[in-house]
Homo-oligomer: A and B are copies of this chain.
Amino acid sequence: MMFLRSPLSRKARIEITGGPGKNYSLDFMGTVDFKQWTSESVAADLERAIHEHRLPPATKLGEDELGDAYGISRTTVRAALHALSHRRLVELKRNRGAFVAQPSVREAREVFEARSLLEPRTARSAAERMTDADLASLRANIEDEHAALDAREDGRALFLSGQFHVEIARIADQTTIEAFVSELISRSSLIIALYWRRRAALCETQAHHALLDAFDQRDGDAAEQLMKSHLLDLVASLDLRNVAQPATSLREALQK
């Protein structure tokens, strides 16, 4: 979560004259823009934090707490949490609050089933419409991911890895599918947080490189096939045996 204020829309008139001593003093008069958080930007900020595993599954997202953190009222926080709940990244429990979602094994399977229906054929479309600028964008993404891995910023690497998939949908010029894929990618990040088998290996950049080659050659068939097997590999790397969930509370376990 970032609490810095950066320019957006709100202006504050500031006048400072003189200073407390010889070490520093300043004369300033003018307007300073600072960021005004909106429900959308808060939701985006939280989504990224969830995606990067800075907010792990089951984390309580108290309205007051978040309001204080962002310097806004509960009203705006609530809108953001509701937005995230529509994307199934946050679970709202009536009168109990918002929590980072904990996808079940079943939901995990469903998410990858949906991805397997959407992404391979979208990759094909993307390959057919690929411009050089698009290729450069995908290449930059992979490089950023490598850089993040080298810097031990695993969360950031995971986020970028997801953006690769979203970018493909964008290139395919299908904003509706892109929105679905974007949601599925974020949910996949939660699934990875819960069910990832071999923690160390984020080494799926191999698959992304192979896809890049297919895109480079505008080979739709190859892109579709590569995406298909990439998704199968991802599922295979998860431990989706139906072991009993940690079960945060007995109450929840029973009311299902």
Contacts and interface: CB of A to CB of B under 8 A. Distances in A.
Interface of A: 79, 82-83, 86-87, 107, 110-111, 113-114, 117-118, 121-122, 174-177, 180, 184
Contact of A107 (B83, B110, B176): B176
Contacts of A107: 175-176
A161 to B, nearest CB: 21
Given A117-B117, A118-B117, A110 B177 contact: yes
Contacts of A174: 110, 113-114
Contacts of A176: 107, 110-111, 113-114, 184
Contacts of A82: 79, 82-83
Contact of A86 (B86, B117, B118): B86
Nearest to A118: B117
B177 A114 contact: yes
Given A110-B174, A113-B177, A117-B122, 6 more contacts: A79-B79, A82-B83, A110-B175, A110-B176, A114-B180, A118-B118
A171 to B, nearest CB: 14
Contacts of A121: 117
**Which residue, A107, A174, A180, has most C-beta atoms of chain B within 10 A?**
A180
A113 B107 CA distance: 24
5 contacts: A107-B175, A110-B175, A110-B177, A111-B176, A117-B117
Contacts of A87: 86
Nearest to A174: B110
A82 B176 CA distance: 18
**Which residue, A86, A114, A121, has most C-beta atoms of chain B within 10 A?**
A114
Contacts of A111: 176
Contacts of A117: 117-118, 121-122, 177
A87 B86 CA distance: 9
Contacts of A114: 118, 174, 176-177, 180
